[in-house]
Chains A and B, each alone.
Chain A
Amino acid sequence: AQSVTQLGSHVSVSEGALVLLRCNYSSSVPPYLFWYVQYPNQGLQLLLKYTTGATLVKGINGFEAEFKKSETSFHLTKPSAHMSDAAEYFCAVSASGGSYIPTFGRGTSLIVHP
């Protein structure tokens, strides 16, 4: 079984401030982890993913995330927020060696203030 918990349904930051969106996962086998972004009334777009290897992964638009096995976490960060980053962000997990069906968290809405 696998699950994802995103801490905070809404995160509010000022433009230029650090963005930190939290994701914790549960998986009985080594996980594959993903972050997606969704703009209003659109589908999801992949930001970054972790499968194996380097635990710090870089994605599009300046985002990065670090896989921490001991903490079962995969938090998403960006050093400096832009207004265009305002969107809904979803963390997802799929299990290696299993059916690979991705399970999504409930999402975090990022609000960026001028």
Chain B
Amino acid sequence: DGGITQSPKYLFRKEGQNVTLSCEQNLNHDAMYWYRQDPGQGLRLIYYSQIVNDFQKGDIAEGYSVSREKKESFPLTVTSAQKNPTAFYLCASSMSPGATEAFFGQGTRLTVV
């Protein structure tokens, strides 16, 4: 089955540690996105990539980093510089940067203690 896989579903980390969230898609989509979801704030764009080896900052990129070395993979690293990292993180992809809808993974809930 084609789709987007995020792992792990739940992640706990100590404050000050970097952590990497995995996102893999087998839909052959060019564009991939990372969103952060907090209660009452909807989805906010962290980073996006429209092609391999290229990515752009979204609205809330500070404290995050990404890479896009392969078309199917777009991992997100939450660094110690992110002041409030506890949130639900959603990865998405779309066929191209065009009029098609985004397909979402099941999300990773990160809790920093």
A residues near B (Cβ < 8 Å) are: 6, 9, 32, 34, 36, 41-46, 49, 51, 90, 92, 94, 96, 99-107
Mask: chain B, 14-48; 1 = CB below 8 Å from A; 0 = not:
00000000000000000101010000111101001
Q: Given A100-B97, A101-B33, does the pair A42, B106 have CB atoms closer than 8 Å?
A: yes
A82 smallest CB distance to B (angstroms) = 23
With most chain A CB atoms within 10 A of its CB, the pick from B33, B35, B42, B102 is B42
B89 smallest CB distance to A (angstroms) = 11
B50 nearest CB neighbor, chain A only? A99
Question: What are the 8 tightest A-B residue pairs by CB atom distance, in nearest-first order?
Answer: A43-B104, A106-B42, A104-B43, A44-B104, A100-B97, A43-B106, A51-B99, A46-B101
A90 touching B43, Cβ below 8 Å: yes
B residues near A (Cβ < 8 Å) are: 4, 6, 31, 33, 35, 40-43, 45, 48, 50, 58, 88, 90, 92, 94, 97-99, 101-107, 109
B42 touching A44, Cβ below 8 Å: no
Q: How distant is the Cα of A64 from the Cα of B5 in the complex, in angstroms?
A: 29
Q: How distant is the Cα of A45 from the Cα of B102 in the complex, in angstroms?
A: 9
Q: How distant is the Cα of A99 from the Cα of B43 in the complex, in angstroms?
A: 18
Q: How distant is the Cα of A49 from the Cα of B94 in the complex, in angstroms?
A: 14
The prevalent SS among residues of B at the interface is: strand
B106 nearest CB neighbor, chain A only? A43
Q: Given A41-B107, A43-B106, A45-B104, does the pair A107, B99 have CB atoms closer than 8 Å?
A: no
Chosen A-B contacts, 9 in total, with CB atoms closer than 8 Å, are: A41-B107, A42-B107, A43-B92, A90-B43, A100-B31, A102-B101, A103-B45, A104-B35, A106-B42
B29 smallest CB distance to A (angstroms) = 12
B90 touching A43, Cβ below 8 Å: yes
Of B31, B40, B90, which one neighbours A44 at CB under 8 angstroms?
A: B90
Q: How distant is the Cα of A29 from the Cα of B52 in the complex, in angstroms?
A: 27
